[in-house]
Amino acid sequence: MAKDRLFAQPIKRRFEFDEEVASVFDDMISRSVPFYKENMELIRSLLVRALPQGALLYDLGCSTGSLVIDLAKKRPDLRLVGLDSSKAMIERAQKKAKAFGVDVVFEVADILDYPFQKAEAMVSNYTLQFIRPREREKLIRKVCEALRSEGVFVCSEKIVSKDKWLDRALVDIYFDFKRSQGYSDYEIAQKREALENVLVPYTMQENLQMLQEAGFHFVEPIFRWANFATFFAKK
């Protein structure tokens, strides 16, 4: 696994999921998101229990495909589709799936326009936060409409707090976490600048409201660490 040192040098542009990011993404996500491995295992375990034989699942913004590849190992009967707008990410996902000998379909696609088939489940990990709010809410309605009755949607997001002191404190604690993972203050500052106005997080309440207004009759947070949260929604 290539080590993430992308922001050890001065940034030249806004953050993009290009070849540079794709080449170090697995290391970047594991060192940048607290309890990432444990949270993905929680999501996989839930889906293994929730999905019937032959169910269709879409991973929206699948990056290098780790979640659906691991899910395919546990449930080879499932129809798994990974979608990402980054060609570099999809190419790596396809190579990983081939190496593990699992049957997962990966497509370069814009999830805002993608023609979903009726599905039993959809997953979106740290993807919605990169979609503009108006388009984000339209996408969630589209996701709900594409799910079958009792279908599930699991999404993980970075969140903010309405309380300014708490929000600042949680950000500081998060930066301490990143330092513990080997990132320098310079790298942390560089990445934060690159993500400015690219990553737009909601509060916990805004995420819950968005899911409920889209048509999900049951919504509940299933994981939270400081300013990161995962939501489970059922149609």
Residue 31 has phi, psi (to 5 degrees) of -95, -10
pTM across the whole model: 0.88
pLDDT at position 182: 84
Instruction: Given CATH 1.10.3720.10, say whether it is the number of domain 14-234.
Output: no
pLDDT at position 199: 82
pLDDT at position 91: 92
Q: Where are the domains of the chain?
A: 14-234
Average pLDDT over all residues of the chain: 88
pLDDT digits (tens, 9 = 90+) for 100-126: 999 999 999 999 999 999 999 999 999
Instruction: Tell me what the mean pLDDT of segment 1-15 comes to.
Output: 51
Q: Is 40 left (phi over 0), alpha (psi -120 to 50) or beta?
A: alpha
pLDDT digits (tens, 9 = 90+) for 156-165: 999 999 999 9
Which structure tokens are listed for 147? Answer: 């799910």
pLDDT at position 4: 43
